[in-house]
Amino acid sequence: MIRSAPFRGAAAAIAAVAALAGPARALVTLNDGTDKIYVSGTFSMGYDTNISASSDNTSDMVTSASMSLQYQRRAGLIGVNANVNFALSQFLKNTTYNSLNPTYSIEFDKTTGRTTGTLNINAVRSSQTDAAVNLYTTSWNYTAGLNIHYPIIDRYSMAGSFTYGLLDYTQTSGQPLSNLSTYASNLSLFYILSDERDLFLGSTYRVSQSSSNTSSTDEGLNVGIHGKVFWEFNGSLNVGYMVRKPQGVADPEAPPLGSYHDITANASVNWNANRKLAFTGSLSKDFSTTATDATTDTLAASLDATYSVNARLSAGTGIGGGETRFFGPGGLLAATNQERIDYYFTWNASVSYSFSERLHASLSYAYFKNWSNLGFATFVRNTLTLSLSSRW
């Protein structure tokens, strides 16, 4: 009889989901419905042909389970959303990748009155494949953010955000990686064009500091539309221009770095073709910093469709693709001293079935192909996953 860790984890997860499918007392309501506590659980098992996202092509069977406790309060001026989640992942062969990752988050939101906004604080431990460094990494991601919206007069309003993030790597498969601290602020001016859409002009200021004693400053402007973007497509769309100025280099003898200039974009739109068929599209382009202290300019786009066969059964599919250019000393190929360039294509399909209001099942497949002038970063990845979830 097989008694490996992944199958013991699977058995425990199945038992947890079964417990969730019990009486409705697992949902707690307090203070005449203003305070609510939810408990949810998910169990999944699947096969991954490339767990390191590299030409190593290391495959494995993965089982995962998660338990989450959520608290919501809707009373008075400030609402509260809090969440505690524990996610367990176990690998059949590569047991060094096994992980237990907690997530802690709390959000305070004000939705009434002249000034509205949210304050959120999060701490997430994640173990995942990083295609930018072609490693399976484990890290803590700490974030805090304040978002404020204030109407000025008539058709004009302002929105601002201030965020801080710390990405702290705790396990790096033997390769040293750079931790990253990020400070960012955004300020936007909105103009109500009609009842269906707003126009806005925004500015971004962002500072990134790595543990390799390097940093960069991003300054940008953008314009966009929010609401009904065009025709029957709803969402938001903005385009802009960003300048990144690196400061400091890991090697003191290296020549000084120049600045990078490029167009940025961010879009998310949806279209309900009819009562059963819906489409969602996204587009993003921005600078970022990798775990190897390289600057990247990444363009990514995706299109997804979902079709509801009936109240219980639905299916979905999607495609995506993009380009990532690596700059700076961390982005140079050692053999040729050229900058690394990656291209990717992805496709996915899924089917979901609701046994009841509380119990859901899904089967999903994803294909991912990455091309790169770094041979180690050229790979194909296929994943097949079966999931069960319940929320009370």
- Tell me how far apart the alpha carbons of residues 217 and 228 are, in angstroms, rounded to a whole number: 33
Residue 392 or 13, more confident:
392
| 156-200 confidence digits (pLDDT tens) | 999 999 999 999 998 656 677 889 999 999 999 999 998 899 999
- pLDDT tens-digit profile of 208-254? 999 988 899 999 999 999 999 888 899 999 999 999 999 875 555 55
Indicate whether 14 belongs to any domain: no
Residue 240 lies in a domain: yes
Structure confidence at residue 249 (pLDDT): 58
User: CA 122: distance to chain centroid?
Assistant: 13
Strand 295-308 to 313-327 pairing:
antiparallel
User: Which are the contacts of 163, defined by CB distance < 8 A and separation ≥ 6?
Assistant: 143, 144, 145, 146, 182, 183, 184, 185
Count H helices and E strands in the chain, helices first: 1, 19
Residue 36 resides in a domain: no
The predicted pLDDT at position 383 comes to 97
- Tokens representing 176? 């040293």
Is residue 340 within 8 Å of residue 372, measured between CB atoms?
A: yes
In one letter, which amino acid is 300? A
Separation of first and last alpha carbons in the chain: 34
Average pLDDT, the chain: 88
Structure confidence at residue 368 (pLDDT): 97
Q: Is residue 20 part of a domain?
A: no
Alpha-carbon distance values, 229 to 7, 215, 235, 271, 277 (Å): 48, 36, 6, 10, 19
Rounded-to-integer distance, Cα 120 and Cα 109, Å: 8
Tell me if 140 sits within 8 A of 168, measured CB to CB: yes
- Which phi and psi (to 5°) does residue 333 adopt? -80, 130
Nearest to residue 264, comparing CAs of 198, 218, 210, 332?
A: 218
Given a cut of 80, whether residue 147 has pLDDT beyond it is yes
> How far lies 179's CA from each of 105, 165, 216, 229, 329, in Å?
21, 11, 14, 38, 17
- Give the count of domains, the chain: 1
Domain holding 134, by residue range, is 67-85+99-391
**Per-residue tokens: 179:** 């931790």
* Tokens standing for residue 186: 């955004």
Task: Write the pLDDT tens digit of every residue in 275-332.
Answer: 999 999 999 999 999 988 889 999 999 999 999 999 999 999 999 999 999 988 777 7
Q: Is residue 11 part of a domain?
A: no
Percentage of the chain exceeding pLDDT 70: 89
In a domain, 260, yes or no: yes
Answer whether residue 42 is part of any domain: no
DSSP 257: P
Residue 377 belongs to a domain: yes
Burial readout 317-347 (b: 16 or more C-beta within 10 A, e: otherwise)? ebebebebbbbbbbbeeeeeeeebbbebebe
Domain containing 121 — which CATH number? Answer: 2.40.170.20
Q: Among residues of the chain, what percentage have pLDDT more than 90?
A: 70
Q: Token pair of 202, please?
A: 């925004």
Question: Which sign does the torsion angle of CA 248, 254, 258, 262 carry?
Answer: negative
Q: What is the mean pLDDT of residues 112-140?
A: 92
Distance CA(87)–CA(101), nearest Å, equals: 5
